Amino acid sequence: MKRSNKTKVYEAYNEMVHWFDAHRCKELKMEQFYLHQIKLYFPHGGQILDIGCGTGEPIARFLIETGYALTGVDASEKMIERCKRNFPNAQWILDDMRTMKFTNQFDVVIAWHSFFHLTPTDQRRTLPLITSLVKPKGLLLFTSGDESGEVWGENGGIDLYHASLAPQEYETILQQNHFKILVYNVRDPNCGEATVWLAQKN
pLDDT, tens only, 36-48: 999 999 999 999 9
Provide the CA 194 distance to its chain's centre, in angstroms. 12
Q: Per residue in 55-82, is it b (16+ CB within 10 Å) or e — as a string?
A: bbbbbbbbbbeeebebbbbbbbebbbbb
Flag the least confident range among 24-33, 70-79, 113-122: 24-33
Asked whether 51 and 75 are in contact (CB, 8 A), the reply is no
Asked whether 71 and 50 are in contact (CB, 8 A), the reply is yes
- In the predicted structure, residue 1 carries a pLDDT above the cut 70: no
| Per-residue pLDDT tens digits for 162-193 | 999 999 999 999 999 999 999 999 999 988 89
The model's pTM: 0.96
Amino acid of residue 132: S
Considering only residues 28 and 90, tell me which one the structure prediction assigns the higher pLDDT: 90
Mean pLDDT to the nearest integer, 33-38: 96
| Per-residue pLDDT tens digits for 46-57 | 999 999 999 999
Give the DSSP H or E segment for 170: helix 167-176
pLDDT band for position 83 (cuts 50, 70, 90): very high
Q: What is the pLDDT of residue 179?
A: 99
Query: What average pLDDT does the structure give for the chain?
Result: 95
CATH number of the domain located at residue range(s) 2-20+45-201 in this protein? 3.40.50.150
Mean pLDDT to the nearest integer, 111-134: 98
Q: What is the pLDDT of residue 3?
A: 78
Q: What is the pLDDT of residue 33?
A: 94
Q: What is the pLDDT of residue 140?
A: 99
